[in-house]
Structures are given as C-alpha cells and as structure tokens.
Chain A
C-alpha cells in the first residue's frame, strides 16, 4: 500500500469511528449533566466529602470550587512525589526533588502533563497511580465541568446559579471518563499494551523498563492529558505497540472534544449550533493535518524520530490530534520534524487549542472565540452583538478578552525571558532557528496546557521548572475564572428575542467569521515570534 493510500485509509477509519459515536456520546454527555438523580457511588462520595449535591452554586462559588479542588490537588501531588521513598513500588527511585515535584504537580493538575522527568527513571508505580492517574481523570473532568457551566450560562436566564461544581466533577468522572477508560484499557491490553507492576522486563538479556501502562495510557489520551507512562510516550512500543493501537489512541484523544459539540447543540436546544462549531474545528484540523503530513513526507530525514510501524501518515495524524487538542502525548518526536511540520504543530497550540481542543477546554475556548467573533462582527455593522440569545456587552467581551489573552501573555513573557537568559544556551539541543523553536514550543506547550515538547530542550534547571510551572498555572486558571465569570453574567441576563437583525450563528457566514477570528488572533499575536523560529527554518 502506498503511503498516500495508507494515510487516507487511516484518516478515513478514524473519522468514520468518530462519526459513529458522535451522536450517542454527545447526547449521553448532555443527559449526564442534566439528569436529576445520583448514582449510589456518587452519593457515597458526596456524603464523605460533606457536599450537598442538590444545592446549586453562583459562578464565584463554582470558581472557588475549581480553584480549591485544583489547589489541594497540587499540594497532594507535590507531597506524594516528595515522599516517594515511603511508598510501595518505588524501586529505589527516591524522592522527587522540589523543583521537579512543583512543576509536575502543577503540570498534571492543569491537564498539561508537561514532563521535565524521565518517568521510568524517576517515578515509581505508586506515584503514577495514586498521583498522576488520578489527576489524569479529574483534571479532564474539571475542564468538562467548566465547559458545561459556560453552556448553562447561555441557556439559563435571569438566574445567578450555574450548577454544582462537585456534581459536575464527580459525574464527568464516574459516568463518562471512568467507564470509557476501563473498557479502553482492556481493549489496549488485548492489542498488546503492557500492564505490569514490575519495574522492568528482561527481553533476551536486555532490560526494558515496564509499568502499569494500559490503565494510565487510556486516560492519558481520553482526558487529553498526554503524560507518558514511559519516556518515549506513545512512541514506546509498550504504550503504543502497533498500527491499530495508534488509531485507537488518536480516536480516544479526539472523541470527547468532538462529541462535546453535539452535547453543546443538545443543551443549547439547537443542534446546528453544535454542528457549526464542529465544522470550524474540522476545517482547521484537516488543513493542519495536510500541512504536517505533506511537510513530513518531504523532509530531509523524514524518519528521524519516527517509529516505522506508524509511518509518516500515522505520525502526522497523531501529531495533529495531540496539538489540536490539549493532549501533548506524542508518537514521534516533534523536535525532529521539519520547520514547516513542527511549526504547524506549534501553530495548532497557538490557535488556543480549540480544533477541537481539550476535554471541555476546547468547547469553552471556541465559545469564547465565538464571542470575540460576534463582537468583531458587531463592530463592523455597529450593533450590539448577540450570541445564542444573549447580549455581549462590556462585561462579557472583557471576560472573553481576558480568557483569550492570558495564554499569549504568559507565553511571550516566559519565552522572551528564557531566550535572553545565558543559561538557556546550554539547555538547547539544536543550534540556530530551531533552538529558538525549542524555547517557543516549550512555552506554547505549557501556556496552552498541551504538554508535548520539542523534547531536546533540557528543562530541569530552576528557571525552566518554575517559569513553565507558572505558565501552566496561569494558562489554565486565568481563562477558567474568566470563563466562569462570563457564564455568571450570561446566566443573569434575559433572553434576547431573535429579530431580523440577528446574525444567524448556524450558517457558513458565522463559520467563516469564527475560522477567521481563530486564525487572525493567533497570526497577529505570534507571527513575529514564529518568523524567527519555524518560518525561518522552513525557508532555509
């Protein structure tokens, strides 16, 4: 089979699988967040946590819930790493140092899964399970909860209640992520992914590190987390042994963010509102896939940093899925990509990760961008913009702007300082333009909560550990608070009736406007930086 046919076939299978589950999963998720009753297990958790699941919260309490839960998550994960030597399954890997533990704790709670460590050398199985796996689930569920809260802001009227964060968190985890993960883990094991409690395996006299891979692998993709159980991440044969596991993992990465557009349409009472978002995501995603695939197929060393079993199309598909969402798992080394291919992966993140974006984060990011798009359209025709029956006044647009600008702000400040620090020179793995791309990619990845890397860069010094940690923190929580404030002010409004002057948000005009806004905001913000890194490299 020629690489072209092989690539098209794999893409076709992937898209067909997504199309098949789109409606049932999207509708199911809508039901999960609107159902009245609680499961027995959920009641047990609420009772233990002393939470009243039937009390709805204001946006500020909802936001305190997110922040409080994430705060204790960071502290817990930090402590667990610092006392690793006291835990079982540590294999004398010792306690994790403070800088690395700080960075990793924020990284996994912020759904970034940036890894400054070599897992099989540093992390024992206990930390991987009770620390990292747990955050793989709940950080995704937090994103999901915030997205649902924003949707409630649009569909509710004249109320200050946005739902209950704890209920949304627990339901997203127990009813959506956990069942899919459990089944997915077993499927992956059947296809050859390992699941071992030993530290390694002796293969013909050569010791290769092993781990309880399958249980973490599946939620790593499904929750758009991306933190490898082993250093080579999804390029490692134990994490991703073949062509079919590769397709399954790409499917898992995309399935929830894609299906959430259906959930959104359902909850908004107009399925077309969801389809239009999906079409925008799909257009950008497909275009970026074409760029990465073509660039890699025509590289000077196309197979450097790629696994032969995936080939170039299987690697490009994965790279596009992982950077278009907030995943950051890799099955090939983006650092060895061409200037154009690696630049496109970087650009995927710089779009703000909404094509289709992470679990929940993708939906709320594109809704925020839709507000910006409608605001721009409103400026052009001189009308107060509306979206989904809500007026977009000063408060709403300000919150949307804060949410959009948080990422570029921390990214450019961080990358700018890193680029001039003398210590950075020694941290780079490649000279010239590509070295700058390594810095840019690192800060883009952290600020967007992606977690993939131009992995040659050594990020273990105090500057990188702390600055990237802060980028992850602000890149995650500033937009979340802004989005919840936005949801609060939307929910407080009356519904604006549709008139002849209302710009319909289900047609091609809106889709074009939204696509244009996504591309334009990224282009205006990042072209100067991109010109010195990947663009220069692509032109050399």
Chain B
C-alpha cells in the first residue's frame, strides 16, 4: 500500500507536468500554427463547404436525409433489418420519386439513407443528375447551365461526389 501511495504521488506530479505540456502548450501551439495564413483556407470553417447546409426551395439541390439534431452531429444507427426504419426509407423513396417525377427504381441509395454525421454535404452524381431538371425549372437556369454547375461541384480521387453546399451557393450566384 505504501508503495502504491508513493507511486501515486510521483504519478500526480508527473501528470501535472505532462498536463501543462500536452494539455496546454501542445494544443495552443497547434492552434497557433493553424493561424498561419495559407496553411488552410480557414481553420474556423466559416464559409466552409465541408458541412451540409439545408436550403428550402425547388431551385436548390436536396441533400441526403439527416438524423442529426444540430448543432450536434449524428446518424440514425438503424440496423438493416429494422422494419420500422425500412418503412421510413420506403416513404423517403416515394417522396423523392414524386418530387423529381421519376419511377422509384431510379432513386439512388444515398437519396434515402442518412449519413453517419448527419452533415454529409455530398450526394452521388446519379442523385444530382436526377435533380437537374427540377432545379433548372425552378431557378430559371437552363439544364445545360445547371449540369455545368454540377460538374464543377463534383470532386473526388477515389469516389466522385457532388458537394451540395458549394453547388447551391453557385446556383445562388448564377440565378
């Protein structure tokens, strides 16, 4: 027991020293470096396209469903055999098909499933293509123009995805 207490006392002092180093100096140094202009466009994430921003109106592209309760992030955590949730997904599919005027079989997976973060700003190129006619109609832009905006918001090295946050901002400035 005395050995344990002796070691705990050394442990407390070590912990305090390491707390100053790892808990104060280290994060503040990283923060300081993050302020260097040009290292990253904006570590504060203002005007970011990293996160989803839901926009109302037919002139905008629609995101994936979100299970997050903002400002916190999160997903549905529903298993694939969860029957209640299967119904929810089926309803979403019907709604998307109606909105875009396509058969339900054309609705892609990402249009009906919630992401892990609830802040996923991306949709698949297929889901974007599905929305182009509606967006063109409502925004007054031509289908060709909207397709070009989609193309310039499409990125990815391994998986091509369309960033809806960037895309909707581009639609704002174009229309």
Contacts and interface: CB of A to CB of B under 8 A. Distances in A.
Interface of A: 1, 3, 6-7, 9-10, 41, 44-45, 48-51, 60-61, 64-65, 67-73, 76, 118, 120-121, 129-131, 133-134, 137-138, 166, 169-170, 173, 178, 181-182, 185-186, 189-192, 194-198, 200-210, 212, 214-216, 230-232, 235-238, 241, 243-244, 299-311, 313-314, 330-333, 335-336, 338-339, 342, 429-434, 437, 454-456, 537, 540
Most chain B beta-carbon neighbours within 10 Å: one of A76, A308, A336: A308
B23 A195 contact: no
Contacts of B118: 232
Given A68-B10, A182-B26, A212-B31, 16 more contacts: A45-B18, A69-B11, A69-B14, A72-B8, A76-B19, A133-B22, A138-B22, A232-B116, A236-B73, A243-B158, A243-B159, A301-B89, A309-B159, A333-B77, A434-B79, A455-B77
B173 to A, nearest CB: 13
B43 A196 contact: yes
The 5 closest A-B pairs by CB, nearest first: A456-B77, A235-B116, A68-B7, A68-B8, A69-B11
B73 A232 contact: yes
Given A192-B40, A237-B120, A72 B18 contact: no
A208 B44 contact: no
A308 B115 contact: yes
B116 A307 contact: yes
Contact of B78 (A133, A203, A429): A429
Contacts of A212: 27, 30-31
Contacts of A432: 81
Interface of B: 3-19, 21-24, 26-27, 29-31, 33-34, 39-40, 43-48, 50-51, 53-55, 64, 68, 70-83, 89, 109-110, 112-124, 156-161, 165, 169
Given A68-B8, A72-B12, A189 B33 contact: yes
A201 B80 contact: no
24 contacts: A1-B160, A44-B17, A61-B7, A64-B6, A130-B19, A133-B22, A133-B27, A134-B22, A186-B30, A192-B50, A194-B43, A194-B44, A196-B45, A203-B53, A204-B53, A208-B51, A214-B30, A232-B74, A303-B113, A304-B78, A305-B113, A305-B114, A308-B110, A429-B77
A313 to B, nearest CB: 8
A208 B64 contact: no
B8 to A, nearest CB: 4
Contacts of B13: 48-50
A384 B161 CA distance: 60
A235 to B, nearest CB: 3
B119 A68 contact: no
A305 B7 contact: no
Contacts of B18: 45, 134, 137-138, 170, 173
Contacts of A9: 158
A56 B144 CA distance: 75
A60 B114 CA distance: 51
A307 B115 contact: yes
Most chain A beta-carbon neighbours within 10 Å: one of B11, B109, B116: B116
Contacts of A232: 68, 73-75, 116-119
A129 B23 CA distance: 5
Nearest to A76: B15
A317 B101 CA distance: 37
A214 B34 contact: yes
B153 to A, nearest CB: 13
B116 A333 contact: yes
Nearest to B3: A64
B27 to A, nearest CB: 4
